[in-house]
Structure 1
Amino acid sequence: MIAIFNKFRTGLMPLYILLAMLTASVTLVSCSKDDELEIQNDFPFEVNVMPVPKDITNGQTVEIRMTIKRTGNYSNTQYYLRYFQFDGQGILQYYDEPPYLPNDLYQLPKEQFRLYYTSTSAVSQSFDVWISDSFGNEKQMNFQFNSTD
Structure 2
Amino acid sequence: MKRLLNKSKFLWMLVAVMTSAIMLSSCNKDELDIQQNYPFEVKVMPVPKGITNGQTVEIRITIQRSGDFKDANYFICYFQYDGQGTLRYYNDAPYMPNDLYPLPQTQFRLYYTSQSTVSQSFDIWISDNFGNEQQVSFEFNSSD
Q: Same fold (TM over 0.5)?
A: yes
Aligned-residue identity in percent: 59
Partner Cα separation in structure 2 for residue 107 and residue 32 of structure 1: 37
Structure 1 residues 19-70: Cα deviation after superposition (integer angstroms, max 9, x where no partner): 21112112222333433x2111111111110000000111111110111111
After TM superposition, list the pairs within 5 Å mapping 1:19-38 onto structure 2.
19-35=15-31, 37-38=32-33
TM (norm. structure 1) is 0.90
What RMSD in Å do the two structures reach over aligned CA positions? 1.4
| Amino acid paired to 2:87 | L
TM (norm. structure 2) is 0.93
**What 5-or-longer segments of structure 1 have no aligned partner?**
none
Q: Where does residue 8 of structure 2 map in the other structure?
A: 12
Structure with the greater alpha carbon radius of gyration: 1
How many residue pairs get aligned? The number is: 144
Does 2:117 align with 1:122?
A: yes
Partner Cα separation in structure 2 for residue 17 and residue 136 of structure 1: 53
**What 5-or-longer segments of structure 2 have no aligned partner?**
none
Does 2:130 align with 1:135?
A: yes
Does 2:30 align with 1:39?
A: no
Cα drift, residue 9 of structure 1: 4.1
